[in-house]
């Protein structure tokens, strides 16, 4: 059992949540990137998290977290009538990404809170270890 | 004689190890609070401490029962978990009877059983317990130093 593994776990959690924040930023930035074809329209991206165990086994304790991949949402692109747009197709339609901005904002808050959780875990573990190092001195 | 110092430190040395292990498990639960199909895990403190004590000095066992009595109102936990996503996770639990799965109060659709608030509370409680154990160890070590130096 490694005493410092808690830092690896919390660090992996922070890294995973920051990937999630990145995809939210990407989705929100492209929320209005219209396209002339539904196939080429931007699709909302979401990370898939997976619990992973330490390679050394470690008695199967303290699962870390990893981003297994990023999936694109399969929801249909939003069809908008906008004949003035230079990207409009022959019928005057443009296709907006399938990004739900409300969902993305909620996802952002959730990711941010989870990130803060991991930071707090790391801070607390650090304080406890520092106190342990001073054992017998005070 | 190392054994007499061990028994003088009492159950606290073993308690520190169990609390450190619990810190790691709760950190893993919080890190996986958004992982689909992740099952929250925790140690049965009383059983883990009793196990650590019986592996260590037999003298600590009496103290273990007394200290474990304080953790009577623990969160509900179970030895088995359906649909566990962790490779070897269930096997690890079978090997170690003190490593249990949390019973979710409000199961979620994605199969995740982590309740961040509960885990935060458990983590904070565990941190305070760890510090309390450190304080107790420190005071024992201080009296030991007093006995050694005679001042």
Q: Chain-wide mean pLDDT for chain A?
A: 90
pLDDT at A60 over 80: no
pLDDT at A1 over 80: no
For the segment A18-28, the average pLDDT, to the nearest whole number, is 96
The CA-based dihedral angle spanning residues A137, B5, B10, B16, taken in that order and rounded to the nearest 10 degrees: 50
Query: Can you tell me the distance from the alpha carbon of A65 to that of A12, in angstroms, rounded to the nearest whole number?
Result: 6
B35 contact residues in A (CB cutoff 8 A)? 49-51, 65
**What would you report as the CA-atom Rg of chain B, rounded to the nearest whole angstrom?**
18
A66 DSSP β-pair partners: A50
For the segment A44-64, the average pLDDT, to the nearest whole number, is 78
Q: What is the pLDDT of residue A138?
A: 65
Q: Chain-wide mean pLDDT for chain B?
A: 78
Residue bearing tokens 């190092």 = A133
B132 close contact with A: CB closer than 8 A: no
What are the start-end ranges of the H helices in B1-151? 2-9, 12-31, 45-55, 60-68, 89-95, 116-149
Burial class (CB in 10 A: 0-12, 13-18, 19+), A51: buried
Residue of A61, A65, A136 lying closest to B138 (CB–CB):
A136
E strands, chain B, are 41-43, 77-78, 99-102
B95 contact residues in A (CB cutoff 8 A)? 59-60
**CA of A37, closest CA in chain B: separation in Å?**
33
What's the ipTM? Answer: 0.84
pLDDT at B65 over 80: no
CB A68, CB A49: distance < 8 Å: yes
A21 close contact with B: CB closer than 8 A: no
Residue of A48, A63, A132 lying closest to B32 (CB–CB):
A63
B108 close contact with A: CB closer than 8 A: no
Identify the three-state secondary structure at position B131. helix
Quick check: A61 and B28 CB within 8 A? yes
pLDDT at B71 over 50: no
Query: Can you tell me the distance from the alpha carbon of A138 to that of A9, in angstroms, rounded to the nearest whole number?
Result: 30
pLDDT interval class at A129 (50, 70, 90)? very high
**CA of A120, closest CA in chain B: separation in Å?**
9
pLDDT at A45 over 70: yes
* Terminal Cα distance for chain A, rounded: 27
Render pLDDT for B77-121 as a digit per residue (tens, 0 to 9): 776 654 444 544 444 445 677 888 888 888 889 999 999 999 999
User: Residue A99: how many CB atoms within 10 A of its CB?
Assistant: 25
Stated length of chain A: 138
Determine the Cα angle at A16 with ends B27 and B98, to 5°.
Answer: 25
* More confident site: B67 or B140: B140
**CA of A2, closest CA in chain B: separation in Å?**
9
**What tokens appear for B120 in the block?**
């935060």
């Amino acid at each position: 059992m490694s005493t410092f593994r808690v830092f690896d776990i919390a660090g992996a959690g922070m890294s995973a949540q920051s990937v999630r924040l990145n995809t939210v930023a990407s989705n929100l930035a492209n929320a209005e990137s219209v396209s002339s074809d539904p196939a080429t329209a931007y699709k909302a991206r979401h990370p898939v998290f997976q619990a992973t165990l330490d390679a050394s086994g470690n008695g199967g304790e303290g699962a870390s977290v990893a981003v297994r991949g990023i999936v694109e949402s399969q929801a249909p692109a939003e069809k908008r009538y906008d004949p003035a747009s230079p990207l409009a197709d022959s019928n005057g339609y443009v296709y907006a990404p399938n990004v739900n901005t409300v969902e993305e904002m909620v996802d952002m808050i959730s990711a941010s809170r989870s990130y803060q959780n991991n930071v707090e875990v790391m801070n607390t573990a650090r304080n406890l270890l520092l106190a342990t190092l001073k054992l017998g001195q005070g | 004689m190392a054994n007499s110092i061990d028994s003088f430190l009492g159950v606290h040395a073993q308690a520190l190890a169990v609390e450190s292990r619990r810190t790691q498990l709760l950190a893993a639960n919080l890190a996986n609070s958004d992982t689909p199909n992740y099952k929250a895990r925790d140690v049965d403190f009383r059983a883990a401490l009793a196990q650590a004590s019986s592996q260590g000095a037999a003298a600590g066992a009496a103290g273990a029962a007394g200290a474990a009595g304080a953790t009577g109102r623990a969160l509900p936990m179970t030895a088995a978990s359906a649909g566990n996503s962790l490779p070897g996770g269930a096997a690890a639990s079978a090997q170690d009877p003190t490593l249990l799965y949390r019973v979710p109060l409000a199961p979620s659709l994605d199969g995740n059983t982590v309740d961040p608030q509960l885990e935060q509370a458990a983590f904070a409680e565990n941190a305070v317990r760890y510090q309390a154990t450190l304080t107790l160890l420190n005071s024992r070590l201080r009296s030991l130093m007093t006995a050694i130096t005679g001042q």
